Amino acid sequence: MSVLIVCPGKDPENWEKALKNQHPGMNVYVYPEDHDKEEVEFALTWNHPRGLFKNYPNLKVIASMGAGVDHILSDDALPEGIQITKVVDDTLTEDMGDFVLSQVMNHIRGLHHYVKAQKEKKWEKFQYKRPQDTKVGIMGLGVLGNEVADKLHKNFFQVYGWSRTEKSCDHVTSFHGKDQLEEFLNNSEILVCLLPLTEETENILNADLFDMLPEGAYVINVARGEHLVEHDLMEMIDNGHLSGASLDVFREEPLPEEHPFWDHEKINITPHIASLTKPESVAGQIAENYDRMKDEEPLKNKVEQEKGY
Ligand code: NAP
Ligand code: GLV
């Protein structure tokens, strides 16, 4: 019985170390090193080569190295009956809260103006908004969306949220489903996307949706690049309806050098670092699920594959 780590483009070494620290008896292979496919029952992965897992006749669980599982579910050739898990981790969650708070603060205080002004040696003051006077809408009120809502509320922002099913939370004015999307958007001066990537949410950040935001709204996408119709965003910023965007995720990563986002002065780019999984922080839950699989117990953080998240 073995675990296979598959994460092309990422360093697997820290994952291997962290797993072995948690579970000294665990036999771990790192793809593509030579290994017996029949032995592998559990895979830990990020962006595996499409179709790879169908070659593992005894594979029972595929664990995502992150909170998102779109990189797994988008593979049409997953083995029948496979169980999929995601990461739910306090560090990952808190880091997302900090990142979004920093982007929201950066926007309302207009800090990007001063980066430019300093380069030009200009002593120039800009007006700013206060959190109390700012409405932030969060799309996706799951593990991460809730943390973001909480941090924004604690920092005196007016918080709005949108999810698939109804929620009730004292400090978030909540909306759900397609019917309530427009009202939610009408209130979102800053829009934060923290949805999972599914058939329903792909391309959701498009011109029709931006149109429903207040004039001058700002967009923060920390979910997936495929949520955003890039051309629509550029157009809505260039025609003045949106004031700008902070983008952490992209359709193609790394973002190609020739991409127009790089040079857009109203688009703030970060390289998918809003919240990074720390192997030592999540190895415990992966090892626990490995034992649960062996003991035929229900897995923790299991993904509902029909829902797509
Ligand atoms: P989660 O706990 O599964 O929450 C997902 C939320 O989205 C839920 O509130 C869900 O509604 C809502 N939702 C799903 N489909 C919807 C739809 N069609 N309409 C309205 N709401 C919908 O996910 P999470 O752990 O918070 O993670 C969210 C995403 O963040 C991940 O999938 C990943 O892509 C991204 N992420 C990015 C980074 C980064 O560094 N940039 C790091 C970690 C994660 P219900 O509550 O009603 O089900
Ligand atoms: C990162 O994008 C994650 O899904 O954890």
Residue 85 belongs to a domain: yes
Residue whose CA lies nearest to ligand 2 atom number 4: 68
| pTM for this prediction | 0.98
Residue whose CA lies nearest to ligand 2 atom number 1: 66
Establish whether residue 195 lines the binding site of ligand 2, counting it when its CB lies within 6 angstroms of any ligand atom: no
Q: From 85, 66, 14, select the one nearest 274 (Cα to Cα).
A: 66
Same domain for 217 and 85: no
Same domain for 106 and 255: yes
The residue to mutate among 47, 74, 164, 179, having the most atoms of ligand 1 within 8 angstroms of its beta carbon, is 164
Same domain for 140 and 25: no
Give φ, ψ of 25 to 5 degrees. Answer: -85, -5
Q: From the candidates 35, 241, 272, 292, which is the catalytic residue?
A: 272
Are 299 and 292 a contacting pair, CB within 8 Å? yes
What is d(CA 113, CA 309) in angstroms, rounded to the nearest whole number? 38
Same domain for 204 and 116: yes
Give φ, ψ of 119 to 5 degrees. Answer: -60, -35
Same domain for 251 and 110: yes
* pLDDT value, residue 1: 86
- Residue 48 annotated among the catalytic residues of the structure: no
Same domain for 218 and 287: no
The residue to mutate among 227, 247, 275, having the most atoms of ligand 2 within 8 angstroms of its beta carbon, is 275
Residue 40 belongs to a domain: yes
Same domain for 201 and 121: yes
Establish whether residue 66 lines the binding site of ligand 2, counting it when its CB lies within 6 angstroms of any ligand atom: yes
Residue 27 belongs to a domain: yes
Residue 241 belongs to a domain: yes
Read off the CATH number of the domain in which 49 is found: 3.40.50.720
Same domain for 84 and 150: no
Give φ, ψ of 225 to 5 degrees. Answer: -60, -35
Same domain for 143 and 182: yes
Sequence-separated (6 or more) residues with CB below 8 Å from residue 302: 83, 84, 85
The answer, yes or no, to whether the previous bond of 260 is cis (omega within 30 of 0) is no
- Report the domain count for the chain: 2
Establish whether residue 142 lines the binding site of ligand 2, counting it when its CB lies within 6 angstroms of any ligand atom: no
Distance 117 CA to ligand 2 centre (A): 34
Same domain for 101 and 165: yes
Residue 301 belongs to a domain: no
Same domain for 243 and 288: no
* pLDDT value, residue 90: 98
Full pLDDT tens readout for the chain, 309 residues: 899 999 999 999 999 999 999 999 999 999 999 999 999 999 999 999 999 999 999 999 999 999 999 999 999 999 999 999 999 999 999 999 999 999 999 999 999 999 999 999 999 999 999 999 999 999 999 999 999 999 999 999 999 999 999 999 999 999 999 999 999 999 999 999 999 999 999 999 999 999 999 999 999 999 999 999 999 999 999 999 999 999 999 999 999 999 999 999 999 999 999 999 999 999 999 999 999 999 999 999 999 999 999
Q: Which domain holds residue 161?
A: 90-269
Residue 49 belongs to a domain: yes
Q: From the candidates 48, 107, 164, 224, which is the catalytic residue?
A: 224
- Residue 272 annotated among the catalytic residues of the structure: yes
Same domain for 59 and 16: yes
Residue 113 belongs to a domain: yes
Residue 149 belongs to a domain: yes
